[in-house]
Amino acid sequence: MKLKAGLMGGGSWGTTVAALVARNAPVTLWARKQETVDEINTHHTNKRFLPDATLPEQMIATTDIEEAIAGMDVIIMGIPSQAFRGVLEMVRPHIRPWVPVISLSKGIELETDMRMTEIIDDVLPGHPAGVLTGPNLAREIMAGYAAASVIAMEDEVIVRELQKLFSCGLFRIYTNHDVIGCEAGGVLKNIIAIAAGMGDGLGAGDNTRAGVITRGLAEITRLGVAMGGEPQTFAGLAGMGDLIATCTSSQSRNRTVGYELGRGRSIQEIIDEMFMVAEGVKSAPAVMALADKYGVDMPIAREVFEVVQGNSTPQQAFRGLLRTAAGAESDPG
């Protein structure tokens, strides 16, 4: 018997994942706006987020939480990090016991510094929690380009079944038991992508971008391991793979924020023009709080934090990084 999936969120990545799952199993997508639901059900499109994509006809959308949750075998959360808990609380009255909940979000809750799977455990105790993450640009996947991702859960039996649910065509899914590492990689790379974008906006060149990515990966790995992740995770799709895609693609929202900052625009001006969330901007304070909590030095992330908070400029940030003394490559900083 096929699993039935409920997916919360009608943004670009949530819609893309629902379209992928629809090829393997019945899926119902929940979105807040009635016009989004009507467009998906009637025209099989979501032009605001995926302007060139045609969605599977068997994919159903609804604004009714109960319809999207009740009777489902797996719940997928395509909700931005700062709204994640609120939507989970809406899910709670309708979800059956022990149903797995998978996060697509790459952020940290500001009030608690919690990862999304920690929020799942907090709001829905007893429900196996996992994360789907990796170098996944929604528009490329919908256009049919090959891509790879990771689903991470502690339960090896459940994760193998969910691997089949998400795998489709040229979208290749790997499994991992390191939930902390996979989730941390997805969160932390957003900050480094803003730094890479700032360098591009300043016209810093390919060598600078390579340096930011490489030293950024070192920062991500240090904090991720301190949080409980495994070092090898950060050399894989959830670490290096996601970092490269996010730091180099013009489709990356976080790199775009950095690029526009590098061109001299204010953070508020940039955010006001975006209708999709750049998680790195939202998560920067929480990432710095985690770095302080675990005593991890993150000079690139700290400079980005100061810029997005309005306390510094991209030019000052890069000058600050150049003033940092360089020791052995294995050293912090």
Q: What is the pLDDT of residues 135-149, one digit of tens each?
A: 999 999 999 999 999
pLDDT, tens digit, 9 for 90 and up, residues 191-207: 999 999 999 999 988 99
Contact 80, 87 (CB under 8 A): no
* Radius of gyration of the CA atoms of the chain, in A: 19
Place of tokens 């990796």: 134
Task: Indicate if 164 belongs to the active site.
Answer: no
Q: What is the pLDDT of residue 274?
A: 78
For residues 75 and 84, the answer to whether their CB atoms sit within 8 Å is: no
Using CA atoms, how far apart are residues 291 and 294, in angstroms rounded to an integer?
A: 5
Read off the pLDDT band of 17 (50, 70, 90): very high
Whether 14 contacts 29, CB under 8 Å: yes
> CA-CA distance, 318 to 224, in Å (whole number)?
24
Of 4, 189, 282, 293, the active-site residue reads: 189
CA angle 105–151–134, rounded 5-degree value: 60
Place of tokens 């290749």: 172
pLDDT tens for 155-182 read 999 999 999 999 988 999 999 999 999 9
Burial 253-270 (b: 16+ CB within 10 A, else e): bbbbbbbbbbeeeebeeb
The helix, strand and coil proportions of the chain, stated in percent and rounded to the nearest 5, come to 55, 15, 35
Q: Tell me, what's the pLDDT at 1?
A: 57
CA 145 and chain centroid, separation: 19
Question: What pTM value is reported for the model?
Answer: 0.91
| Domains recognised in the chain with CATH numbers | 5-177 (3.40.50.720), 185-323 (1.10.1040.10)
CA–CA separation, 238 and 128 (whole Å): 20
Tell me the residue length of the chain. Answer: 333
Task: For residues 45 and 39, give the distance between their C-alpha atoms in angstroms, rounded to a whole number.
Answer: 6
pLDDT grade for 324, boundaries at 50, 70 and 90: low
Q: Residue range 308-332: average pLDDT? A: 74
Q: Give me the pLDDT at residue 255, please.
A: 94
- Residue 325 DSSP label: P
